[in-house]
């Protein structure tokens, strides 16, 4: 699990959402890419394209503010997905979490999911040279970039 969000409670404990994987990475479904919101870029922003998803659950724990360790069982949970976004050239990537719904039809993103996000040109992390071709290919498979 990894740290996701923390809120102060004022009682020596913080409330923190932590990620729990429920699947391995997989290519973003074509329907998610086609139907997701597409943010417009402005100024020095660049487009990051959703290329992979990982499904999971966000669990909210009370965490000891001194140690960072959970003080008990989760208080609540919510379905979520993590999306890996890459630039058109595959040189930079960023991960963003979105809420999801889980039901009889399986996992579905909420309407807030963006298939293309706009971020500053230096956002995210540099992608290792050996992965850039794969990221470029995934962008080209799912989108019609200019």
Instruction: For residue 81, give the nearest of 62, 105, 64, 106 by alpha carbon.
Output: 106
Residue 105: partners with Cβ closer than 8 Å, 6 or more residues away: none
pLDDT band with cut points at 50, 70 and 90 for residue 1: very low
Tell whether 94 is covered by a domain.
Answer: yes
Look up residue 3 and give its two tokens. Answer: 């740290």
Rounded Cα distance between 14 and 6, Å, is 6
Tell whether 9 is covered by a domain.
Answer: no
Tell whether 123 is covered by a domain.
Answer: yes
The structural domain count of the chain equals 1
| SS3 sequence of the chain | CCEEEEEECCCCEEEEEEEEECCCCEECCHHHHHHCEECCCCCCEEEEEEEEEEEEEEEEEEEECCCCCECCCCCEEEEEEEEEEECCCCCEEEEEEEEEEEECCEEEECCCCEEEEEEECCCCEECCHHHHHHHHHHHHHHCCCC
The answer to whether the pTM exceeds 0.85 is: no
Q: 120 pLDDT exceeds 60? A: yes
Q: Is the pLDDT higher at 19 or at 78?
A: 78
Tell whether 16 is covered by a domain.
Answer: no
What percent of the chain shows pLDDT beyond 70?
Answer: 90
pLDDT given for residue 7 in this prediction: 47
Tell whether 73 is covered by a domain.
Answer: no
Tell whether 63 is covered by a domain.
Answer: no
| Contact status, residue 65 vs residue 12, Cβ threshold 8 Å | yes
The domain in which residue 137 lies consists of: 24-57+78-142
pLDDT band with cut points at 50, 70 and 90 for residue 146: low
Tell whether 62 is covered by a domain.
Answer: no
pLDDT tens column, 57-111: 888 888 888 888 888 887 878 889 999 999 999 999 999 999 898 878 888 888 8
Tell whether 112 is covered by a domain.
Answer: yes
């Amino acid at each position: 699990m990894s740290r996701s969000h923390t809120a102060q409670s004022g009682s020596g404990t913080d409330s923190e959402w932590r990620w729990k994987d429920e699947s391995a990475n997989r290519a973003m479904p074509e329907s998610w890419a086609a139907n997701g919101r597409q943010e417009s870029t402005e100024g020095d922003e660049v487009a990051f394209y959703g290329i992979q998803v990982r499904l999971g659950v966000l669990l909210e724990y009370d965490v000891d503010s001194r140690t960072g360790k959970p003080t008990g069982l989760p208080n609540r949970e919510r379905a979520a997905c993590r999306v890996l976004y890459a630039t058109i050239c595959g040189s930079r990537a960023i991960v963003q979490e979105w809420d999801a719904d889980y039901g009889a039809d399986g996992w579905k993103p909420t309407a807030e999911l963006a298939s293309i996000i706009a971020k500053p040109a230096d956002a995210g992390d540099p992608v290792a040279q050996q992965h850039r071709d794969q990221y470029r290919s995934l962008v080209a498979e799912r989108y019609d970039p200019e």
